[in-house]
Structure 1
Amino acid sequence: MQAQKATIQGVILDENNQPIPGVSVTCEEFYAISNDNGFYKLEVPALKKITVTYTHITFKKYEFTATLANAENFIVNPVLKLNIEQIGVVEVSSSKKKSFIGIQTVSPSIIKNMPSASGGVENLVKSLMGSTSNNELSSQYSVRGGNYDENLVYVNEIEIYRPFLIRSGQQEGLSFLNSDLIQNLDFSAGGFQAKYGDKLSSVLDITYKVPTEFEATLNASFLGAAASVGTLSKNGKLATISGIRYRNNSLFVNSQQTETNYDPVFADFQTYITYKATNKLILNFLGNFSMNQYNYTPLTRQTNFGTIDDPVALLIFYEGQEEDEYLTTFGAFKANYLLNDNVNLKLIGSAYHATEQEYFDILGQYRLGEVNSSIGDEDLGDVEYSEGIGSQLNHARNNLDALIFNLEHKGSFKKEDHLIEWGLKYTHEDIRDRLVEWEVIDSAGFSIRPFFELANDQPYNPYEGPIVPYQNVRATNYTNIDRFSAYGQWSYKTTLASEAELFLNAGVRAHNWTVSGDNITSSTQTVVSPRAQIGLKPNWEKDMIFRLSGGLYYQPPMYRELRDSIGMVIPDVKAQKSIHIVAGNEYSFLLWNRPFKLKSEAYYKHLTDVNTYTLENVRIRYSADNDAVAYAYGLDLQLNGEFVPGTESWISFGYLKTEENINDRGYIARPTDQRLKFGMLFQDYVPNIPDLKMYLNMVYNTGVPGGSPSYADPYIYQTRLSDYRRADMGVSYVLADANKTHEKGHWLHPFKELTLGFEIFNIFENLNSITNTWVRDVYTKRQYGIPNYMTGRVFNLKVNMKL
């Protein structure tokens, strides 16, 4: 009988539904303490009457009495009331601490319900303060003037990598992050602490669930399906959560102006396993296998442009196809050892292997001509007279094999209000890359030579030189990169004489890396990155938090940043450097007797040793010569609150200006110079039918540079793409959830959640362009920039269920 035990667990909240860390949970001789997320777990005797007590110096004591069955898992989520008799005691909760350091936190339930064309967590990140994107098919995002390679992503403290060869959003398939497995999502748009890695722009910190009971979910729609299963062993020591996903973007690709045969297979499997070896030692494993196959055969395309008086159309007939494949295997082990109440030690080892193939031969033959604009004519919209003809042949045989190993130790020491954290990491990167791609352009029967070759006046006079590709890149690289990085940081929270709350953080990172390989002269470099943060909550009637953060941030180059525009690896590329300052304010208030929060951040970045790049769709190509300086500054605002009672919505606004000076030629806009951003996520429901809910995601971004030909000198051409406007809406009806349960025997009784939904993507069918295709008028030698439009309006049905 003494061996028979039960488990009590849950999340401890305050009256504002915020988690409370450091709560003592006791029952006889058994004892537990809630963590930073308010979660606790306590083993208690079974088959006898027990009393469980919750105590905290800031809150009133809470007790309950129960008799539990053997191996029963009993969930209790108590709400503690503030102990008003306590004076002069300050306890910084997890959520308040995140406010001090400028981290945005989002509920996983919003991720699940938000209408998303890319189907990933990143689509939610794009609506947050400081983040932008103009590509609904991509999971990539830009943060405050940085590019896609400048963002850190972690899952349970394990760094995640993105593919190397992806050039188009519709090739991406599934991002690593599985929304069904997420427990917490934290995002920082800059000024982050030294414990995070060496990138210039942002940190996305994801925590996967540790199940407290058996659970199963299934989500299905016309865009794909996903299922997950969470388990917990009888003794409560082994917990697993696993998910499998399949995605098919055919609906979106078929809504574009190019008619295609499209056969994608995007699928992955992930698992996160937690094993409590002892009360002090917890072991974790994170595994992932991802297969993204992209088979694409374009057929025809017609794009009408010009004016009402002078309508022009581009008509293209295609031959050939593209076959891409991206296979990724990832595994990571993590050991967490609680030496005592003050010291926590961690050891993390991970391996990432990616094999990527990009093969295509596509011939496009075009006609550029006048369009029949006679209303009522049966040939309305057809090209009647050709002003230009030509063809373009693109070829690629690109292969990349990347193998990355990591071994990392982290630790923390806490004493009273002081917290010291440290870390040491070794990374080995083995990259094998073959790059073979070329492009031949023919216009009106003659071959267009590279722009840097001797000019000719075809077609008026024949040119008798050899036919050469317009672009030709060939390279084979075997590259090894060894990295050692370390950090140390100190955090402190206290109360001033004025009863204001003060939070301080200071830290430093160091990073040493060596680039070597075949036909490469080995190069070793070291950088040191100091960072600091200060947060202050005055003792005012208004609930406000002020914060200031910044430091010297470096981004040591990854393999793609070492490879220049012709595919050669330049081993002595320096780390890009940024002096970053962020000043923020957070104001919490009541409006209509409901909670609201206004966040604002102003920032400035001064960048040197900038590795300039070109951006086409999502493909980034670097110059690899550190030939520029740059700056970025702006202001971000976000208003969160219950615009509708019981729901969370937000509106975000951003202003950004970022420019670069290449080889002292003067400042011009960078490829990510997105001046204005407006985003809104709005939730609502029908008052008389509260189970009928609506989710609206709206984005407006001003155009970025990228409308010029890819070969053009950016100092001559600074053409911008058109503004990006998009609205996605989801409507769902809840048949079952935590607030709507059904009696035993009812067909809905087994479901913890069951929702039927209908989604409309791009409600107003705005034609957003991602790049321009440039063609010539043979008679005038005039070039036209024809927009390559993204997806049109798409309808989708879906069902979500949880057992």
Structure 2
Amino acid sequence: MSFSSWLQVPVDKRSVRFLVGLFFLLLPFTGLGQKFTISGYVRDAKTGENLIGVAILNAVTGEGTATNAYGFYSLTLPKDSVKLMASYVGYERTLFTTYLRQDVQQNLLLTPATTALREVEIINTKEEDARESTRMSTITMSVAQIKAVPALFGEVDVLKALQLLPGVQSGGEGTSGLYVRGGGPDQNLILLDGVPVYNASHLFGFFSVFNAEALNNVELVKGGFPARYGGRLSSVLDISMKEGNMNEVDGEGSIGLIASRLTVGAPLKKDVASFIFSGRRTYIDLLARPFMNKEDGIGGYYFYDLNGKLNWKVSPKDRLYLSAYTGYDEFYSSYARSSGDAEESRAGLGWGNFTTAFRWNRIMNQRLFLNTHLTFTKYQFDISNEEQSTYQGQTYDYKLKYLSNIRDLSAKLDFDYIPNPSHYIRFGGQYVHHQFQPGALQVRDNNGGAAEDLNVNTQKTTAQEVGLYLEDDLRLSERVKVNVGVRANGFAVNKEFYSSVEPRASVRFIANEKLSLKASYANMTQFIHLLTNSGIGLPTDLWVPSTDKIKPQRSHQLALGATRALAQNRLELSLEGYYKTMHNLIEYKEGASFIGISNSWDTKVTTGKGWAYGLELFLHKKTGRTNGWIGYTLAWSNRRFPELNQGATFPYRYDRRHDVELVVIHQLKPNLTLSGTWVYGTGNAITLPEARYMVGEAWEGGYGGTQTYNDYGARNGYRMAAYHRADLSLSHTKKKRWGEVVNNLSFYNAYNRKNPYFIYVQAGKKEGDPSKFKQISLFPVLPSISKTFKF
């Protein structure tokens, strides 16, 4: 068709409206009118650390942006005077003024605030606060504020601080696990420098693996997930490590009752390359060893963490990072007797993580930023038992080892494209090679003769996972801003292939200068599962893939919320409601566990569904000598499995109707800080026996020939007593010529509440006496002291 003929074709009015609308939608990309871009990094003026989430505002036009996860910002503005204001919690505001007549690359340096008070200001004190952002159900916590919260045994813990937020629950007394909006611990994507951490707990969950001194930024996403995140149903915990001081040697350490830690950062070449190294170890085993009687055997427990990171400014546009983490827990015992017939035995239980990441950041141009990420992660636990004895000159040898692990090797590309202040576009893709070994049992038995070796379930399963995403944070008007995106995933295991397309959307509407309304929807898919032995209390949970028998977990979450500023913006009140459905959840069948060699794991489980809904209230004070927050959650979480509980719906083990958190941090003096927390929660659901009966015939004169059985009631049909406690902490800072020393005194469970840890059945003392339920409590009031130093 010729051009002249094309002009004579009738034009439909709807087509015209569509083309006009498309034109105005794409208008911001066209660059009509003279516009230029100012971009660069925002860094700590003292250490050279890149700062994440710094608000950048042009005071002339009111347009702004924020630094990304790598400290980069980009702002495209008309040719005119520019007055940039950079604002970040704990730092003095920085101003930069210029006349924008060409593209400019300008790095900004922020100076840490001089007063101690600013260091404990808390969540979302950025210029673009919670009312402005499209993101909801997202909370950023400063490391300084995490350190200000009272801690068990004086050990600062990231996960315990997050448990003080609405919608986030702990698994039980003292534990560091996270149960977010009715989900399980496997449904949390925990990232350390972008690398998944599959087990984030030490000492059976009482401490987390994250050393606070080595961390730069902590962000928790509970809903409204941006498309760049995938692979889990309930939350994303994104933790970034520090990069190391670019200008001078600095460090921080602590000596506590059960552990000590040290962090050191220094330049390898000033303003070009730096490193940071951090280590922590418990010494309970070393302190107890002198008091042990070797004739009765020796045993102990310890854990350690090691973090390291290198970063190198290759050029003004290129930067390389190499980071690693390793941590391990070990329980061990040994016994030896050499007099007479020799006997020796050793037993151990160990688990740990190893992660490493190589990252390349490049500024492709003033508006396009690239991050390339290569990562490896491994989690493994193992149980071992060795026995050797000599009897009448004959040697008897028995060895058993059980291990389980998961390994991931991943490559990822992330692009940030910021064409103008009204659009922030992110897109990219990821490939993950999974390797699973859910359980391998190795047995060697030499019973005085030829050795017999048995290897069971040693087969490894590999899987390939790919993901592509596109999202746009788009300002439609002064009042309306949206974040829309989509994520496409594929998962290949054996001969099975699963795929999913996950739309994501969130919208923010400014009702007035103090009130904003928000809504979000997220479709999530999780291709891996965690088999949990809830009654064992050991780190023996198994990570397993979806198979031809076990489908991927899927969820839909809808959330509605409102945020309002109070008391001249000194207080912020947010209210959120959510509803979440979950499909293809797995649980062990009745009586099954990870122990056993006859069947593979997928024959021991059953699948079902769950749903969770609730309301979260969050009131927090951000500034002043006294700050903190109050959180309240009203929630329900239920499960239904056709093969469990006779197919009837039952509450999830961590279904908690009411959850209250109160956190107060008060600056008594510039060098003296008092903090306290109080928590209350409905008791955990529990399954209890309702009757006991005996089967079999009694032997003459006794009951040795009978077997006693418990008749259990409905699954999770009972509740433990409500949980509540108060913690207190007093910190005194003393300046030294070389730095400062912080002395801390804290009290865990200050009013000695006897909270339930578990409940068991105690038989009657005499024949015919009724059995009773007995409660075991774990921690009474626990005072602790610690000394922290900085240089």
**TM above 0.5, one fold?**
yes
- What is the count of residue pairs matched by the alignment? 634
Q: CA–CA distance in 2 between the matches of 1:636 and 1:8?
A: 34
Query: Structure 1 residues 654, 270: CA separation in 2 closer, same or farther (over 3 Å shift)?
Result: same
Q: CA–CA distance in 1 between the matches of 2:546 and 2:97?
A: 66
Matched, 1:105 2:140: yes
Matching residue within 273, 293, 303 for 2:310: 273
Q: CA–CA distance in 2 between the matches of 1:615 and 1:141?
A: 25
Q: CA–CA distance in 1 between the matches of 2:319 and 2:417?
A: 18
Structure 1 residue 121 displacement after superposition? 0.5
Q: CA–CA distance in 2 between the matches of 1:138 and 1:61?
A: 41
Matched, 1:580 2:580: no
1:608 counterpart SS class: strand
Matching residue within 500, 523, 528 for 1:527: 500
Structure 1 residue 763 displacement after superposition? 1.1
Query: Structure 1 residues 360, 678: CA separation in 2 closer, same or farther (over 3 Å shift)?
Result: farther
Q: CA–CA distance in 2 between the matches of 1:199 and 1:435?
A: 26
Structure 1: 5+ residue runs without aligned partners?
1-6, 25-32, 42-52, 66-72, 80-90, 254-259, 298-319, 362-394, 439-473, 517-521, 737-747
Q: CA–CA distance in 2 between the matches of 1:235 and 1:397?
A: 49
Aligned partner of 1:761 in structure 2 is 748
Query: Structure 1 residues 532, 561: CA separation in 2 closer, same or farther (over 3 Å shift)?
Result: farther
Confirm or deny: 8 A CA contact 1:628 1:662 kept in the other structure: yes
Query: Structure 1 residues 269, 286: CA separation in 2 closer, same or farther (over 3 Å shift)?
Result: same
Matched, 1:503 2:481: yes
Higher helix share: 2
Aligned partner of 1:183 in structure 2 is 216
Q: CA–CA distance in 2 between the matches of 1:200 and 1:236?
A: 41
AA matched with 1:612? E
Residues 186-585 of structure 1: pairs in structure 2 closer than 5 A: 186-210=219-243, 211-214=245-248, 215-247=250-282, 263-295=300-332, 323-359=348-384, 397-416=401-420, 417-434=422-439, 476-494=457-475, 496=477, 499-500=478-479, 502-516=480-494, 522-538=495-511, 540-541=512-513, 543-558=514-529, 560=531, 571-572=547-548, 573-585=550-562
AA matched with 2:473? Y
Q: CA–CA distance in 1 between the matches of 2:285 and 2:111?
A: 44
Note the alpha carbon deviations across 1:486-511, whole angstroms, 9 max, x for none. 23233233263xx42x2211222222
Q: CA–CA distance in 1 between the matches of 2:639 and 2:466?
A: 29
AA matched with 2:608? A
Structure 1 residue 656 displacement after superposition? 0.9
Matching residue within 627, 646, 650 for 2:629: 650
Structure 1 residue 74 displacement after superposition? 11
AA matched with 2:787? V
AA matched with 1:488? Y
1:715 counterpart SS class: coil
AA matched with 1:670? Y
Q: CA–CA distance in 2 between the matches of 1:619 and 1:774?
A: 24
Query: Structure 1 residues 480, 765: CA separation in 2 closer, same or farther (over 3 Å shift)?
Result: same
Matching residue within 609, 627, 633 for 2:607: 627
Q: CA–CA distance in 2 between the matches of 1:336 and 1:18?
A: 17
Note the alpha carbon deviations across 1:440-462, whole angstroms, 9 max, x for none. xxxxxxxxxxxxxxxxxxxxxxx
Aligned partner of 1:144 in structure 2 is 181
Structure 1 residue 293 displacement after superposition? 1.3
Structure 1 residue 702 displacement after superposition? 0.8
Confirm or deny: 8 A CA contact 2:404 2:542 kept in the other structure: no
1:146 counterpart SS class: coil
Confirm or deny: 8 A CA contact 1:611 1:626 kept in the other structure: yes
Query: Structure 1 residues 239, 615: CA separation in 2 closer, same or farther (over 3 Å shift)?
Result: farther
- Pairwise CA RMSD: 4.6
Structure 2: 5+ residue runs without aligned partners?
1-40, 47-51, 60-64, 74-80, 88-92, 99-106, 114-125, 289-296, 335-344, 387-398, 444-454, 535-539, 596-600, 690-708
Matched, 1:703 2:683: yes
Note the alpha carbon deviations across 1:532-588, whole angstroms, 9 max, x for none. 1111223x24x1222111122222124648999999988321112212101121112
Q: CA–CA distance in 2 between the matches of 1:791 and 1:691?
A: 31
TM superposition score normalised by structure 1: 0.69
Confirm or deny: 8 A CA contact 2:436 2:544 kept in the other structure: no
Aligned partner of 1:740 in structure 2 is none
Structure 1 residue 482 displacement after superposition? 1.8
Aligned partner of 1:734 in structure 2 is 733
Q: CA–CA distance in 1 between the matches of 2:770 and 2:441?
A: 31
Structure 1 residue 142 displacement after superposition? 0.5
AA matched with 2:789? M
Confirm or deny: 8 A CA contact 1:607 1:629 kept in the other structure: yes
Q: CA–CA distance in 2 between the matches of 1:437 and 1:667?
A: 39
Matched, 1:161 2:161: no
AA matched with 1:213? N
Confirm or deny: 8 A CA contact 1:760 1:793 kept in the other structure: yes
1:139 counterpart SS class: coil
Structure 1 residue 105 displacement after superposition? 1.5
TM superposition score normalised by structure 2: 0.70
Aligned partner of 1:669 in structure 2 is 651
Structure 1 residue 484 displacement after superposition? 2.3
AA matched with 1:271? G
AA matched with 1:176? V
